[in-house]
Amino acid sequence: MEFSSLKEAIEAVKREKIRGARWSLFRISRAVIEDLEKGILDCNSITEAARSIRDANKSMAPLANLAYILTEACNLGRNLRSVVENVMYHQQRSLELIIENGRQLPDNSTIATISYSSTVEAILQSTKKYNITAIVLESRPGGEGAILAANLRDSGIKTILLPDTMMYEAVERSDYVLVGADAVTRDGCLVNKVGTRLLAMISKMLGKPVIAVFDSMKIHPDSDCESHVIEERSYLAAGYGPVRYPLFDLTQAEYVRAAITERGVIDFTPENIRSLWSSLIEDVLS
């Protein structure tokens, strides 16, 4: 029996603690193509494969979308490899377009962010000549923000790393807040590393706009604000022992001003989000 690249990729995604939804999607998409080439994956086994892809990380919308798209491709008689290649091309092109759209950010501004988002990093890297200052919150537990801060600092961007306990000060010193997304529900909730909701609430209180950065693969095909599954992890607290915590939280649309997407800068509304998702499905299945 041929070794399944998809099963290996799913286990890798389950183990991953730093790299996010984009990395996970590419890792699994490449594995799907490998298994299609080996002849151990086809429309007869796609239901089980789609379920496993979703279960690799139930909070990550791109995995749920890939599972949905694979199932729809079989229902419509589409070529699975072509559809997966469409998904990967869409992701690559979307990042390029988001970077272009992100250059609309004003010069000489100070931006607060939390955790690590490769898309946020790409936008900030593209605006180096605009004298951007980045204030990055550590995003404990996990501390992914320190990785982003180091990358930005090493590339020449003025960067300040702050502990999460200084979230109020970070927003107060910033012109606006820029955050990534592991998922967006179609009724208008932003799913991102735990701490994002508090950051957004502080931003609204201080009158600082929150701008989300995501492409349409981040829009979950079937969950909503009430039902979206939040993954949990654990860590050891010194002097106490193991502590479980939600990896993500949900930020309602009222706290997010706009979104930078592959189709431009849009108001963060349920109507715009649903329209963006519908265009994605039409594009990759066409």
Contact at 8 Å (CB) between 224 and 185?
yes
Alpha-carbon distance of 63 to 163, in angstroms, equals: 31
Structure tokens at 212: 């989300």
Phi-psi region of 55 (alpha: psi -120 to 50; beta: other; left: phi over 0): alpha
User: What does the alpha-carbon distance between residue 57 and residue 63 come to, in Å, rounded to a whole number?
Assistant: 7
Token pair belonging to 44: 């007869």
Q: Report pLDDT for 29.
A: 97
Q: pLDDT value at position 105?
A: 84
- Structure letter (DSSP) for residue 106: P
Report pTM: 0.89
Residue 246 tokens read as 């939600």
Domain ranges across the chain: 5-98, 106-285
Q: What is the pLDDT of residues 146-158, one digit of tens each?
A: 999 999 999 999 9
On whether the CB atoms of residues 87 and 217 are closer than 8 A, the answer is yes
CATH topology of domain 106-285: Rossmann fold (3.40.50)
What does the pLDDT read at residue 1?
A: 37
Let me know if 242 is exposed, middle or buried by CB neighbors in 10 A (0-12, 13-18, 19+).
exposed
- Cross-strand partners of 248: 193
In 40-176, alpha helices (H): 46-56, 61-76, 80-102, 118-126, 144-154, 167-172
Residues of the chain with pLDDT under 50: 1
User: What is the second-level CATH architecture of the domain 5-98?
Assistant: Up-down Bundle (1.20)
Interatomic CA distance for residues 137 and 169, integer angstroms: 11
